[in-house]
A and B are shown apart, each in its own frame.
Chain A
Amino acid sequence: MVEILSLAGANLLSPMVLCFVLGAVAAAIRSDLEIPEAIAKGLAIYLMLAIGMKGGLALAKSGADNVLAAFMAALALSFSLPLLAYGALRALRAVGPVDAAAVAAHYGSVSVVTFVTAVEFIGARGAAYDGVLVAMLAAMETPAIVTGLLLARRAIGATMPQVPVRRAKLLREVLVNGSIVVLVGGFVIGWAAGPVGMKKVEPFVVDIFNGMLCLFLLDMGLVAVRQLRSARELSPRLIAFALTLPLANGAIGVAAAQLLGFGVGSTTLLATLCASASYIAVPAAMRLALPQARPAIYVTLSLGVTFPFNIAVGIPLYFAVAERLAR
């Protein structure tokens, strides 16, 4: 326990997390600090391209022996994790079935930035990870949306919107959204270029990565707190849900990692993927496919509560558990 707390303390003093805190404080004191949207979007593209390349390179180095099992596990986790979230929300009587289904989809899916922060965290502690984790990240984004929509359909049946949004548009929205394309593309590039080719972009992909992450997390701190401040619909029950579900999902991630025979770094990353909640891809899909659900609830929970929790407390905790299990 002491060890976990000291690890969490050390994490809170990392420049990336401190930049996140700076953004959060700036928003809390109502500073006019703002990262221009185009820059934030550019940073996001950079981070996803770089993390994709790093993953592809790691895969090229380690070879691909357990890739298929890991990929299937990722799909299965993303499909099934929303069931726990939905059950918990309904048991808490926190929200109605439609909002519960929408929130559940977010918690089954993943947050790329949380994953990137975890990669930096384990890297700083010298833990390696399998490249396949980046493929798992991509695989986990979408299935949870399907489960969430099925849960909602079961709950409201015939009162789905009379004018359904074209399925093709929704599919495009989730399968080929920009972040997935750049992430998977970077992964393939990193794998194809291999160690020799990737040497050429090392200063870009490796050396400046943490500085870019600082800037991005500064913006995320601003965004998360502003989202939290504008929220009028959060009950103590919902906040409790958003703080405890990551722990349950993280534990499921750790268990899955044990079954897959992952090391400390990969276990930490899979726990982080399971514990994280989407706040970009899933909200956009839910608005189109399930407009009755309230974004003020699902975005605020995933972006305003769970995301900061994972950045500050969750990641070091999952790492400590992974380390303990490896002894």
Chain B
Amino acid sequence: MDVHRRKKIEIVVESGMLAEVVDWLVGHGVRGYTTIPKVSGFGRQGRRATDEPSGVFENTLVIAIAPEPVARQILAESVERLRDYAAIVYLSDVEVARPDHF
């Protein structure tokens, strides 16, 4: 079987910004994404939790797969775009079987 190299983009972002983030990914031609809501943890912004009524301390994980140039562009833009929000953006290498999907 042929495998094809792609980049996986993972973005942990405050839940209120999810709509902005997925619009931005789609604007770059990303053809699909997966979201995992209500993720919690700890980081630069302190405790991120899902047990508070306004939801401002809650994170969502967004996973997308894209060709390397697209992923690098997204990573570069994320610095300014998500500057003041709770967000972590990182890329990793993945292999896929169906290149036309990503």
Residues of A within 8 A of B (CB): 34, 37, 40, 44, 161-163, 165-166, 169, 223, 226-227, 230, 232, 279-281, 283-284, 286-288, 291-292, 295-296, 299, 303
Contacts and interface: CB of A to CB of B under 8 A. Distances in A.
Contacts of B52: 223, 226-227, 299, 303
Given A163-B80, A232-B46, A223 B51 contact: yes
A106 to B, nearest CB: 10
Residue in A37, A169, A295 whose Cβ sees the most chain B Cβ within 10 Å: A295
A144 B84 CA distance: 22
Contacts of B49: 230
B46 A291 contact: no
B14 interface: yes
B54 A226 contact: no
Residue in A44, A223, A226, A287 whose Cβ sees the most chain B Cβ within 10 Å: A287
B46 A230 contact: yes
Smallest CB-CB A-B distances: 7 pairs: A291-B84, A283-B54, A283-B56, A280-B54, A295-B56, A287-B56, A287-B16
Interface in B10-40: 14, 16-17, 19-20
A280 B83 contact: no
A278 to B, nearest CB: 9
9 contacts: A37-B50, A169-B19, A223-B53, A230-B49, A283-B54, A287-B17, A296-B46, A299-B54, A303-B54
Main secondary structure of the interface of A (DSSP, over half): helix
A303 B53 contact: yes
Nearest to A281: B54
B54 A279 contact: yes
B16 A288 contact: yes
Contacts of A223: 51-53
A280 B53 contact: yes
Contact of A230 (B14, B47, B80, B84): B47
A75 B87 CA distance: 35
A207 to B, nearest CB: 26
A279 B53 contact: yes
Given A280-B54, A299-B56, 18 more contacts: A37-B50, A162-B80, A166-B20, A169-B19, A223-B53, A226-B52, A230-B46, A232-B46, A279-B53, A280-B53, A281-B54, A283-B56, A284-B55, A284-B56, A286-B56, A287-B56, A288-B17, A299-B54
Nearest to B14: A287
Interface string B56-82: 110000000000000000000000110
